[in-house]
Amino acid sequence: MSGLVRVAVRDADGRPVARARVFIESGPAPTADVAALSDARGEVVLAVPAPGRYAVGCAAEGLAAGRAVVEVIEGAEARVTVTLRG
């Protein structure tokens, strides 16, 4: 494992979005084609196999899908917030 991406999913008002599906859309190395669900705080941690730039996608029922890009450094935890609009 190279690094971790901590994703915070928020709605347009900044409130946490629980049970959002969070997944890696693209990156410098192949990743599993699975989604994790955000917790009650709207957060999830994803492991990525290599350093580099990753696109993180999020979707939740009743909200428009969102996307953000994050740079992962070897052995570090990167943080990114994705906002989903209604």
Q: What pLDDT does residue 86 have?
A: 83
Find out whether 63 and 86 touch, Cβ atoms under 8 Å: yes
The domain over range 3-84 is classified in CATH as 1.10.10.10: no
| Alpha carbons 4 and 22: distance in angstroms, whole number | 13
Cα atoms found within 13 Å of the Cα of residue 11, Cβ hemisphere only? 12
pLDDT digit string, tens, across residues 9-51: 999 999 999 999 999 999 999 998 899 999 999 999 999 999 9
pTM: 0.92
Domain positions in the chain are 3-84
Query: Which has the closest alpha carbon to 7: 63, 75, 59, 61?
Result: 59
